[in-house]
Amino acid sequence: MTATTGDLLGSGRPVWAPPAGGYWEGAWQDGRRGLIVRDPEDGAEVGRVMDATDEEADRAVAHLAARWRGHAWPLWRRREAIGHAAAALAAAEPRFAAIIAAESCKTVTEAHAEVRRAVETLRLAADAAGGLTGRTVPFDNSPRGHGWTGWYTREPLGVVAAITPFNDPLNLVAHKLGPALVAGNPVVLKPAPQTPLSALALVDLLLRGGVPGDYLAALPGRHTGAALTRNPRVDVVSFTGGPRTADRIARGGPARKLLMELGGNNALIVCADADPAQAARAVIDGAFGVAGQNCLSVQRVLVAESRYAEVVERVCAAAARLVVGSKRDPATDVGPLVSEAEAARVTAWIGEAVGGGAVLHTGGDRRGGFVTPAVLTGVPAGARLRTQEVFGPVVLLDPFRSLDEAVASANAVDTGLQAGVLTRDLQDAMAVAGALTVGAVLINSSPDFRIDAMPFGGFKRSGIGREGIEAAIDELTAPKVVAINTAPAHACRDAAGPPPADRTPEGEPLGRRLP
């Protein structure tokens, strides 16, 4: 009989122990230092992994850089390996959901949803193998191209350092590994130190599915990211996290490709013709899932004046009904934050806003690592709740008189990840969509929506490049041209006609010869 998530969580035993503390140089190894993984809900130990040293990180990168080009791994085998891992993950959903629920902030229900999304992410990555095609080059569109034929293919960029956060410890790892591997890149993964077990369990599935050890390493650690990002053998840094860390990465290594998703302070615009009940549901679902620890979380809600009082009332009533409690209880709506320190930071920001004149209508109480869902109005312009990503269960609401005012308010932050607009008016929806400086506009939805096939990323300080399977594969490959000269040089000159009077027979300007 297959064990359920509840059975695994309630067994008193670790839900899963990796073969060793990390995977590098083609083998599972413990490394010199250890790192205890603790449940953010109660501090209980749920596992142990390696805490990689700089030397171990350098060795892992050196191994991949030296071996991957010499290890033939054709596209069809890459597709099969990722596909096998997707199928194995689907079959192991209870175990993976238990791992996520044990080490992360997610409730059991949220953990199961994440496993199913990671299955889809890997499946999409395997399916995208067929799109790794190039194009012919139109040489005959230029006189200088006479006698030439050729094409370009899309080739892997090289060693990818993939750095993932704690809030989606499985699916965001799948988003890093799936596209990079199917594109033919070797990857060294650095998972969040709070949630490395989900990542290592996925790495184990990928290796069992056929990913060669010359293409994959996984190095948990508190400071591993710095060693990886300054390593000159790393060709791409793929990072999901905060802007300040991104700045350190950009400053701390050689010039190379950066692919970064840095979060957002996301706005939802509720127009006068929107249904207040629908608006309240969108706010509650978008603001308080995973205790607000989501880069797509709704943080600012801009409501037409005629609907403002009703929407505020409905949101406050619904937020007060949410169940805050243990991740293990299926009835729980809002679990803990990643640490007591983060919970204290969130309540400090709330206190700062209230001290500046904001009204706290409900929530904002802290118990250890738990914060009750907070709804505020009248948050002052300079408060951090308005200007920065809170990454906690907090939402603020403001009225607006015109759509132009709403758009200006939505754009008045230094991030631009996603935004939502609720309206029945197609013209208004399209006008707002065109005016918002964000990576995606969700019409009749909160910003907290994404399918794993869509290009994902933002403008301004929300990141560099785009993730999402096909978009990520494009980011992690580059064109390589192969051109064949099929005609002798004199034939090329004859076909092009006599050179102009101010040109040499070779076509160069008189008086100057190109190097």
Partnered with residue 23 across adjacent β-strands are 28, 218
Phi, psi of 400, deg, nearest 5: -140, 155
Number of Cβ atoms within 10 Å of the Cβ of 201: 22
Instruction: Quickly tell me which residue has 């077990």 as its tokens.
Output: 197
Give which of 81, 48, 90 is closest to 213, Cα–Cα.
81
What's the CA gap between 14 and 8, in Å, rounded? 8
Written as one letter, the residue type at 188 is V
Instruction: Quickly tell me which residue has 């990928």 as its tokens.
Output: 206
Catalytic residue among 103, 120, 261, 389: 261
Annotation marks residue 261 as catalytic: yes
| 3-state DSSP percent of the chain in helix, strand and coil, to 5 | 40, 20, 35
Partnered with residue 395 across adjacent β-strands are 375
Alpha carbon distances (Å) from 248 to 95, 121, 231, 492: 36, 29, 14, 52
Inter-residue contact 300 to 421 (CB < 8 Å): no
End-to-end CA distance of the chain: 74
Give which of 356, 394, 357, 358 is closest to 375, Cα–Cα.
394
Give the catalytic positions in this structure.
Answer: 261
